[in-house]
Amino acid sequence: MRLTAPYGILPRDVASRLKEYKLKPWNVTQRIRRMNKKLDRLIGQKAAEKVGKGWALTTFLREAWGSAKEELVGNI
């Protein structure tokens, strides 16, 4: 998802890129929802947001992509 445009990527496209894990589009959506729920509970931010039928990374996650944990905790 990191390399996609801001308008996001469809769950079926993610599942097709990850064939070795035998994921279905529903599994991709559920994992994203689980990540969002956990991050929201821990730090008050979300990992991805729904854009139409696809998912796109939030600006928080795009900025945090290469950062260390200590840098992120200090910014929040």
Tens-place pLDDT, residues 8-44: 889 999 999 999 999 999 999 999 999 999 999 998 9
Report the mean per-residue pLDDT for the chain: 85
Nearest-angstrom CA–CA distance, 28 and 16:
10
pTM of the model: 0.75
User: Where would I find the H helices in the chain?
Assistant: 11-17, 25-43, 59-64, 69-75
